Every structure is written in C-alpha cells, then in structure tokens.
Structure 1
Amino acid sequence: MTDTATATDARPPKHVVYCGVCTLPPEYCEYGGTTKKCSEWLVANHPDLHSHLYSEDAATKGMSNLSLDAQKRAEKDAQKKAAKAEAAEAREKTQRAASKVYIKRVERNKRKYVTEVSGLEAFGLDLKKIAKEFGKKFATGSSVTKNAGGTGDEITVQGDVSDDIFDWLQEHHAEVPEDNIELIEDKKKKASAGP
C-alpha cells in the first residue's frame, strides 16, 4: 500500500503555452520558418512571455556563449530564414490570387445533375467540413471525391445547386474572391443516330 501514490503526492499538471501560428511552444518558434508571425502572435496574446523570450537581455545572453564566427553565422541564418519566410508568404499570396474555384454542373442522365466544386483547397479550406455543410444546407448528398484527372480532390453535391453554392461561398468564405469563382455547365453529348 505504501508504493501507491496518494492524491496529496500528485503534482498538478503544468500549463504549457502553444503558439497559435506554428503550434510549438514559444521557446521553439525561432527554429521554424514563421518567426516573424509567431512573434507578432505572442505580442498580441502573451506580451509578458514575449518580453521574457525576445528581450535584449535574452538575446545577448544566448549570443554570449557563442564564438564570434558562430554569432555571424547565426545572424546570417536568421536573415536567410526571414527571407525564405517572406518569399514563401509572397509566393502563397500570388498562388492564391491565381487560383480558381470551379463550380461545374454535370448532367448525369436526362434531368439529373451533379454539382462538382474544385479548387477550394488552394484557399486553405477543409473540404470534408465544407462538404458536410453543403449536405446540411442544400439537403442533398455531398462528399469529397478524387478529380477525374486524379490531380486532387473535389466536392460532389447531388443536384443542380451551382448558383446556390456560388452565393453560399460568397456569404460564408470571404477569403475566396468573387473573381476567382467560375461557373461551368457540362452537358453529356448525345450519341448521334446512325443512318
């Protein structure tokens, strides 16, 4: 009985703060590629922790045990990481601006239609979550499927709801610009009758 821990011996769990940008503890944010964004998040949400981690004293204390060459290399590495992060952010913005969301109405047979929505993943949207919202909103079957070309995923919604999806995307997801949404109507070609 003596080797079992009692309730009084148990230590309370530690509260660890995690960065809202990179999801690491703030002590490790400097090793990732989003140091600038992490620092801004920390200032906004935990200013006391930011002043402790990023103060001049902390920086000089960390650099004091490095040699002169190592300090220069550390500064160069920090500049390279910052430049890479800025370039990646700029590349992501241009990619988002060039990305298109295609809402395609496909005729299944005679008067039955299926609406396919592709290109939403470029804007950082969760396809499964949106497919579920489509199913609830339009009271139809909705699922995430592979593209016909096999290049990515798309949301397939049963029924002709292409205009409604266009309006819904405008209303609920402002990060997708109206100019980047295209409505396409795809009809099956009828087999020509032979002579």
Structure 2
Amino acid sequence: MAETEAPQLAEPKHVIYCGDAQEHNQLTKWRWQYCEFGGTTKKCEEWLQAHHPDMHSRLYSADAISANLSSLSLEAQQRAEKDAKKKAAKAESAAAKAEELRATSQVIIKRIERNKRKYVTAITGLESFGLDLKKVSKDLGKKFATGASVTKLPAGGEEITLQGDLSDDVYDFLIDRYKEIPEDNVECIEDKKKKKTDG
C-alpha cells in the first residue's frame, strides 16, 4: 500500500486587533483596518504607533499618505481632507463630552434596609464610566459570594443589586478594581425605612 503524503497546512495568518478599543473600555475589538470607522481614529493611530511602529510608518508616513492621495482626483482629495477634518473634530468633541460626563458623574452605593435588619446594596451610575454592568455584577457576586443582579430603573438607567450589607466593601472594591472611576465620584448613602409612629 502506497503511503500518501499529509497535506501541507498553510501557516495561520497573524491578525492585529486594535488594542485601543480594549484600553478605552469599548466592548469590542476590531482589526486596525476598521479603526477609521470607529470614531477614535486618532487614538487608534497613537496606539498603532506605540505598539507596531513599522506598520504605522507604512500606513501613516507622509509618503504613504501622499501616494494614496495622488491616486485621487483633485475634487476627491479636497473631499477626503474635508471629511478627515470633520471626523477628527467629531471624535475630539465626543471625547471631550465623554470626559466631561465622567468628571460629573456620580456612582451611588446605597445601603437599603428591607425588613428586620435585612439589607441590600444598590449601585447606580457605573454605566457613565463605560463599564459593562453585567460583568461588574458578576465580579461583585463572585467577590462577595452573594446574589447580584442588574435591574432597569423606572427613571432610566440600570442598577446593580447585591444581597447583604456590603456598601463599605463595595466602595473599596470599586476604587481598587476600576481605576477609571475617580474616588471623589463615589458616594455611600443609607436608605432607612421610616418607622411607623403610633397616633
């Protein structure tokens, strides 16, 4: 019986995904070719320059840009420059708005008394910092070995509810684990039940 040769397998292709997406808490990572459609072009370019300088020089060097522009008509070049300026201004504006929102947003950790010394801890305001509430809820549930859920609020937004009196522990955990939340923006409050008065 003749031996058959094993088929030659092609080497896997190495794909570079933009690390800027992960560093800026976006939920998805994309190939660097798609960064220009993501709204964070400048940040992606800076990331590419820091982590893959050879690829950055091939794509963003003056020669590469002029070669790409020279293949366009004069009208298309002007349109491309105008679009690039618009995209950069829009991205800068969006980044400034997001930064302003983060600076003014508050994370409220509320200790709520249910009945007969039973408590729950509710956390609101985390979505302002770009955090995935389901993931944070899961982390908190594992950390404190308790029930944790994400619920929608009637006024809009979402909150994480934990079983038990954990407000101080949650405060420490959030400050240590999520560096994007400034300590000054986290507040612990207590929501006590009003006692019925005899009358």
Q: TM-score range by the shorter chain?
A: 0.7 to 0.9
What is the TM-score normalised by the length of structure 2? 0.85
Going from structure 1 to structure 2, the CA distance change for 1:73 and 1:120 (only over 3 Å counts) comes to same
Aligned residue in 1 for 2:184: 179
Stretches of structure 2 that go unaligned for 5 or more consecutive residues are: 22-28
CA RMSD in angstroms, aligned pairs only: 2.0
Measure how far apart 1:7 and its partner are.
4.4
Measure how far apart 1:193 and its partner are.
4.0
Stretches of structure 1 that go unaligned for 5 or more consecutive residues are: 1-5
Aligned residue in 2 for 1:13: 12
For residues 1-195 of structure 1, what are the structure 2 equivalents within 5 Å? 7-22=6-21, 23-147=29-153, 149-193=154-198
Q: Distance in 1 between matches of 2:112 and 2:170?
A: 14
Measure how far apart 1:136 and its partner are.
2.8
Measure how far apart 1:124 and its partner are.
1.8
Q: Distance in 2 between matches of 1:42 and 1:15?
A: 15
Equivalent residues of 1:27, 1:53 under 8 A apart: no
Deviations 1:138-177 (A, max 9, x none): 2322222222x25122111111111121122222223211
Aligned residue in 2 for 1:3: none
What is the TM-score normalised by the length of structure 1? 0.86
Q: Distance in 2 between matches of 1:124 and 1:92?
A: 9
Going from structure 1 to structure 2, the CA distance change for 1:7 and 1:64 (only over 3 Å counts) comes to farther
Counterpart residue type for residue 148 of structure 2: S
Q: Distance in 2 between matches of 1:34 and 1:15?
A: 23
Going from structure 1 to structure 2, the CA distance change for 1:129 and 1:33 (only over 3 Å counts) comes to closer
Deviations 1:38-87 (A, max 9, x none): 11111111111111111222212211121112111111110110010000
